[in-house]
Structure 1
Amino acid sequence: MTLTQTNPVSTRTQGQELVIENLAAGYGKVQVLWGVSLRVAPGEFVAVIGANGAGKTTTLRAVSGVVRPSAGRILLGGQDITRATPSGIVGLGLGHVPEGRELFPRMTVRENLELGAAMRPEARAMQAQTLEHVYALFPRLSERQGQLAGTLSGGEQQMVAVGRALMARPSVLVVDEPSLGLSPLMTQTVFEALKAVNQEGVSVLLVEQNVGLSLRLAHRAYVLENGQVVNEGTGAALLADPKVREAYLAL
């Protein structure tokens, strides 16, 4: 799949640095992450790849405050957010597109989008402008803004999930498995939107099952295995790495 150039939609947001240092986290007594360290530079697009169960989703949940780390720290724009609440982290400029979308099915497309601006005063003040930006990225959402989110196709719901996160005007966007269950055409539409947002300066941290597409898009990438970083490099270097190609690309 080849990504075509899109006209980037202005978010007027300067990307922040995201740093994860020696992160340990899990669920109850089950530890999933073991000393994970990674960095997303301001305006950088970074991918995290790995098999199911490697700890990718847990990493993003820890970053957004949904999972409380047991060790290590997370810095957003130099500020320690390791113990911050999810709403507080959103307020500092981090948007999270969760796996499974987590929309409100009985609310309209527009209502779901507008919820994304609720936690940041600056986002609420520019809600109308940002909504137009989201509709420019995803024209189909403009056409369906009055439709209940639960009646949309899977691809359209994924557009809403990305758009909702962008409504908070994030400086860092973390995205979990955006192509899950989508057709190749819808996958390309979503990835082109992420590329456009990144080109406008927003830092992006992506977890994605489509390893080839992720590595072609990412400036840099990390490989997670059993809750630990086992490899890192540029997207191009990892795409050419024989071990990566054998393990994740069946080549």
Structure 2
Amino acid sequence: MTQGQELVIEHLAAGYGKVQVLWDVSLHARPGEFVAVIGANGAGKTTTLRAVSGVVKPTGGHIRLGGQDITRAAPSQIVGLGLGHVPEGRELFPLMTVRENLELGAAMRAEARATQAQTLDHVYTLFPRLRERQGQLAGTLSGGEQQMVAVGRALMGRPSVLVVDEPSLGLSPLMTQTVFEALKAVNAEGVTVLLVEQNVGLSLKLADRAYVLENGQVVNEGTGAALLADPRVREAYLAL
């Protein structure tokens, strides 16, 4: 995998039409860091990731990837600069095979196309089940297997920064652990990871640093361990 780049978000404002969701979001992930964003439903976590990948256009603030301003860039340009996005809900092509879905992830970058076979083998090493299922239609897979494909597809683009939206949604504890172990392995290889996840306990245990998002604004930040021990976080998100 490619070495990680820095991702910087400064005073980000964004929304959908006349509905503003993000008001003043500032966070960053240093090269090779694992950073988590936690918060309740509707806090703006998914919108933040969509703004980073260019799907939602910011109305204020700046986003930089590896020092380059991507605030107004098209999604294809952002992918070309090294961003991989694992969307909430997976968004696979159900009538295409596992391998075909994975290979689509390499289509947008010349570097990824040139090393497609090598990267595919790496994805199969991370997720051996996908090698077994590579000829199967994606729509016939279990939820956990589909999540593996979604992560693998993003990795096929050889990203330097991987943003991941709610990977445990609808998964069993065992499948959740499998997916999170793969994300940690990718991060250990040097890829910067920005994770949005409602499994707060697991996220904070894995994260180098984390941010708490409420009503479109960052209200707390710190190391994963510090936030995991914070009484306010434990009461609000861990029911402790």
TM-score when scaled to structure 1? 0.95
Q: Secondary structure in 2 aligned to 1:169? A: coil
1:23 corresponds to which residue? 12
Matched, 1:92 2:81: yes
Paired amino acid for 1:50? G
Matched, 1:169 2:158: yes
Cα distance in 2 between the residues matched to 1:137 and 1:195: 11
1:135 corresponds to which residue? 124
Question: How far 1:240 moved relative to its partner?
Answer: 0.1
Cα distance in 2 between the residues matched to 1:97 and 1:14: 18
2:28 corresponds to which residue? 39
Cα distance in 1 between the residues matched to 2:199 and 2:48: 18
1:218 corresponds to which residue? 207
2:133 corresponds to which residue? 144
The 5 A counterparts of 1:91-130 are 91-130=80-119
Cα distance in 1 between the residues matched to 2:130 and 2:3: 25
Question: How far 1:193 moved relative to its partner?
Answer: 0.1
Cα distance in 1 between the residues matched to 2:182 and 2:53: 21
Cα distance in 1 between the residues matched to 2:153 and 2:227: 31
Question: How far 1:24 moved relative to its partner?
Answer: 0.1
1:8 corresponds to which residue? none
Question: How far 1:91 moved relative to its partner?
Answer: 0.4
Cα distance in 1 between the residues matched to 2:191 and 2:216: 27
Cα distance in 2 between the residues matched to 1:226 and 1:165: 29
TM-score when scaled to structure 2? 1.00
Q: Secondary structure in 2 aligned to 1:48? A: strand
Residue ranges of structure 2 left out of the alignment (5+ in a row):
none
Cα distance in 2 between the residues matched to 1:32 and 1:248: 21
Matched, 1:155 2:144: yes
The 5 A counterparts of 1:52-71 are 52-71=41-60
Q: Deviations over 1:168-225 (max 9, x none)?
A: 0000000000000000000000000000000000000000010000000000000000
Root-mean-square deviation (CA, aligned residues, Å) is 0.3
Question: How far 1:67 moved relative to its partner?
Answer: 0.1
1:5 corresponds to which residue? none
Residue ranges of structure 1 left out of the alignment (5+ in a row):
1-10
Give the total of aligned pairs: 240
Paired amino acid for 1:149? A
**Deviation >6 Å, runs of 4+:** none
Matched, 1:237 2:226: yes
Question: How far 1:56 moved relative to its partner?
Answer: 0.2
Paired amino acid for 1:63? V
